[in-house]
Structure 1
């Protein structure tokens, strides 16, 4: 029987609560099959707990800035000037710190790819 927007039956709800009790009480997975457990983060995963990646902040390495820019801009945005890239970042709702760092770049400067842009942003902010 359908209960409004709830897709699960009352019995399935109780079953799921029972499955989670061990995890909530122990603080670690309690299943015997490892394939049920989520995969832990890798050493080279980008940091997401510190908020948006912006040049000049602690932990904003060249790789982290490049990854964030590549995620937002893609290949089709290049080659482009700083002004063109600012418009693209604003349209894609990029973090303000990233847009402001790009706005501080010389307007006439052109970038062939994400790597060049990330180097320019981290070099200027690091000085």
Structure 2
């Protein structure tokens, strides 16, 4: 018999493990515990946990919009570019995008790439276009 500092019986301990199993596996609260979760922030709330001064509301929205555009471009490029295309220069990127029937907006963005330079992945392409995708 094990004599540790455990204050609960083995049966209670197993019940507690079973109750926490979903949360431990998922890394986030489960639906069963929904009433105990704090209310999530609204879309238009100003973030105050940034570690610095709180930006004006318009600045935060503009930053979020630019971030969404960068992430959207990254997703579209990743959808139409194959891994075998890398490393790629500007012309290779444009050729592969045309071959995969990428939307005109993506082709227009890729056409703005500098003539010199090669890119190892989609993130490097997005950064070369002046965007900062979420990592």
Q: TM-score, normalised by structure 1?
A: 0.46
Q: TM-score, normalised by structure 2?
A: 0.44
Higher RCO (CA < 8 A, seq sep 6+): 1
**Which one has the largest radius of gyration?**
2
More helix by share: 2
